């Protein structure tokens, strides 16, 4: 791990109450990522540093330090996720990460999943918002404004599985067939879907706290509990139980909303409700304004967050963060796109917006707001990267670095 500047920085810490203490010169780790990662990292750091400098006039600055993961780490030290990188995240608490390549169907395990498991980053948070002028398949994409809280450590993404015809899979199948009354082919591959009350409730708790702190009107529990009754159905039940036990004076259910309040929620309450997974996919298209914060198990959240990204411009416009009770890793939500590596072509907005989420996490909201406003102006001027330009007649296509330059120019304007 190397210091990217000659500046001296300080560590982010927690105070005695568990609140984040952020110095004016925090050390923050970055992982470039594979494929297009270096391109979008170079664009992103320019925008983040520019926004911080403009917002605080030099009083605050980020001191970036590189941590290795992915192909760059393997070439340097022979490991895709060095122990030194995990130790560094534990020491400095906050990191910004580009996309990392994960083989499909074999090879090493996903680095992203490993980071979430090892660091207990149990909440994958994916905001979805629309910037005017962005091409969208919807007639009214501006109605899409949601934040997905996806459970990050359980469900099928826990990684407990065995390949078909392996001795381990056959052992599990034999047990299920002989001891549990199941009827599974001995040749089947096996995956386990663990879900617990503790894991589900801490995710729902974080979603409710976010909704209360940001003035969001509702939290929806997305699940497939009509079929998977003891996992996803339990997620729904545990979510309602948590809301009633810890937030009874701040939340109301949909049933209470109509029985006690004639469908009009009191100003100091948020609504907690639930929807079946397949149903909510069509509802976020037809009635997106009815959904604000969505809490869901892992696999559902993976599907839904990508589908929602398509409504507001695609994964190139989709930020994300993996956050636990102590550590936070902010990341681009798209893949590494190796065919575009080193072409200075790809849209850097996903990583830029993930960095903006990081600024908000640090409570540097003035800098974050500058980026949101600058990004909106850049898109409205129809100066965009190829992924958006091909869908916007009359747009001027910019390179990855050129888009960052345009965004930086727009930071100097007044509010949009």
* Same structural domain, 144 and 285: yes
| H or E element in which residue 190 lies | strand 190-191
248 and 185 inside one domain: no
Q: Which of 11, 87, 171, 278 is catalytic?
A: 278
Mean pLDDT computed over every residue of the chain? 93
Convert the pLDDT of each residue in 348-375 to its tens digit.
999 999 999 999 999 999 999 999 999 9
Residue 307 within a domain: no
Question: Is 110 marked as binding a ligand?
Answer: yes
Closest CA to 136 of 11, 352, 314: 314
Structurally, the chain folds into a number of domains equal to 3
Residue 410 domain-assigned (yes or no): yes
Give the separation between CA 199 and CA 223, rounded to whole angstroms.
15
Q: Is residue 86 part of a domain?
A: yes
Nearest to 74 by CA among 27, 41, 107, 39: 107
Active-site annotation holds for 157? yes
For residue range 287-304, list pLDDT tens digits in order.
Answer: 999 999 999 999 999 999
Look at residue 43 and tell me if it is in a domain.
yes
Half-sphere exposure in the Cβ direction for 312 (13 Å, CA)? 27
Which residue out of 302, 344, 361, 387 is catalytically annotated?
Answer: 302
* Residue 165 and residue 125 share a domain: no
Query: Which one is predicted more confidently, 103 or 306?
Result: 306
For the cut 50, the answer to whether the pLDDT of residue 146 exceeds it is yes
Of 72, 193, 224, 236, catalytic? 224
The DSSP secondary-structure symbol of 288 reads: G
Element (H, E) at 168: helix 167-179
**Rounded to 5 degrees, what are φ and ψ at 165?**
70, 5
Same domain, 253 and 143: yes
Q: Is 386 annotated as a binding residue?
A: yes
Report residue 111: phi and psi, to 5°.
Answer: -65, -40
Residues 265 and 320 in one domain: no
Same domain, 109 and 201: no
116 is in an annotated binding site: yes
Which ranges in 215-337 belong to alpha helices (H)?
232-246, 254-261, 277-286, 298-311
334 annotated as belonging to a binding site for a ligand: yes
| Cut 0.85: pTM above it | yes
Active site residue 302: yes
Confidence of residue 108 (pLDDT cuts 50, 70, 90): low
Whether the per-residue pLDDT at 200 is higher than 50: the answer is yes
120, part of any domain: yes
User: Does 1 fall in a domain?
Assistant: no
Q: 3: helix, coil or strand?
A: strand
Whether residue 35 sits in one domain with residue 125: yes
Same domain, 12 and 118: yes
* Domain with 230 in it: 136-148+194-296
Q: Which of the four pLDDT bands, split at 50, 70 and 90, describes residue 18? A: confident
Same domain, 108 and 201: no
Based on the fold, state whether residues 268 and 410 are members of the same structural domain.
no
Q: Is 101 annotated as a binding residue?
A: yes
Instruction: Write the pLDDT tens digit of every residue in 339-348.
Output: 999 999 999 9
Q: How much is the pLDDT for 1?
A: 41
Q: Is 150 annotated as a binding residue?
A: yes
Confidence at 416, pLDDT banded by 50, 70, 90: very low
Answer whether residue 253 shows pLDDT above 90.
yes
305 domain-assigned: no
Tell me: is residue 340 an annotated ligand-binding position.
yes
CA distances from 305 to 112, 188, 191, 273, 298 (A): 16, 30, 23, 19, 11
Asked whether residue 199 falls in the same domain as residue 240, the answer is yes
Catalytic option among 92, 131, 157, 291:
157
302 lies in a domain? no
Res 5 pLDDT > 90: no
Q: What percent of the chain has pLDDT over 70?
A: 95
Q: Which of 296, 324, 354 is the last residue of a domain?
A: 296
DSSP state of 332: E
DSSP 88-147: HHHHH-EEEE------SSSSSPPHHHHHHHHTT--EEEEEEE--TT---SSS-GGG-EEE
Give residue 274's pLDDT: 97
The last residue of a domain, from among 271, 296, 321: 296
CA-based nearest residue to 407, from 49, 30, 28 = 49
* Residue 335: predicted pLDDT: 87
Q: Are residues 106 and 160 in the same domain?
A: no
Residue 2 has pLDDT above 90, yes or no: no
CATH code assigned at 51: 3.40.718.10
């Amino acid at each position: 791990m190397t210091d990217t500047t000659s500046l001296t920085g300080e560590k982010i810490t927690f105070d005695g109450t568990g609140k984040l203490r952020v110095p004016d010169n925090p050390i923050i780790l970055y992982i470039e990522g594979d494929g297009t990662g270096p391109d979008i990292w170079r664009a992103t750091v320019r925008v983040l540093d520019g926004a911080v400098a403009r917002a605080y006039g030099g009083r605050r600055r980020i001191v970036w330090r590189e941590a290795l993961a992915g192909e760059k780490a393997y070439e340097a030290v022979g490991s895709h996720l060095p122990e030194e990188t995990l130790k560094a995240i534990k020491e400095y608490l906050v990191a910004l990460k580009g996309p990392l390549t994960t083989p499909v169907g074999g090879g090493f395990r996903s680095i992203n999943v490993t980071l979430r498991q090892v660091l207990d980053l149990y909440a994958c948070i994916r905001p979805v918002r629309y910037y005017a002028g962005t091409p969208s398949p919807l007639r009214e994409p501006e109605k899409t404004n949601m934040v997905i809280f996806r459970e990050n450590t359980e469900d099928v993404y826990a990684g407990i599985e065995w390949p078909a015809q392996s001795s381990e899979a056959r052992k599990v199948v034999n047990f299920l067939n002989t001891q549990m009354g199941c009827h599974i082919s001995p040749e089947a591959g096996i995956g386990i879907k663990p879900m617990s009350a503790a894991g589900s409730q801490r995710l729902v708790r974080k979603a409710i706290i976010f909704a209360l702190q940001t003035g969001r009107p509702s939290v929806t529990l997305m699940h497939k509990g009509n079929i998977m009754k003891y996992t996803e159905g339990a997620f729904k039940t545990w979510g309602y139980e948590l809301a009633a036990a810890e937030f009874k004076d701040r939340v109301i259910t949909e049933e209470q909303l109509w029985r006690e309040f004639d469908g009009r929620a009191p100003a100091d309450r948020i609504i907690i409700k639930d929807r079946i997974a397949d149903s909510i996919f069509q509802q976020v298209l037809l009635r997106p304004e009815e959904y604000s914060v969505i809490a869901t198990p892992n696999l559902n959240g993976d599907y839904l967050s990508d589908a929602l990204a398509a409504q507001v411009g695609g994964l190139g416009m989709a930020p994300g963060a993996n956050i636990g009770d102590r550590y936070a890793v902010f990341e681009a939500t798209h893949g590494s796109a190796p065919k575009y590596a080193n072409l200075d072509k790809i849209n850097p907005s996903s990583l830029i917006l993930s960095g903006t989420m990081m600024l908000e996490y640090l409570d540097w909201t003035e800098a974050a707001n500058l980026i949101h406003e600058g990004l909106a102006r850049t898109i409205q001027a129809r100066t965009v990267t190829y992924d958006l330009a091909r869908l916007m007649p009359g747009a001027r296509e910019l390179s990855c670095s050129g888009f960052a330059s345009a965004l930086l120019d727009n930071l100097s304007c007044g509010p949009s």
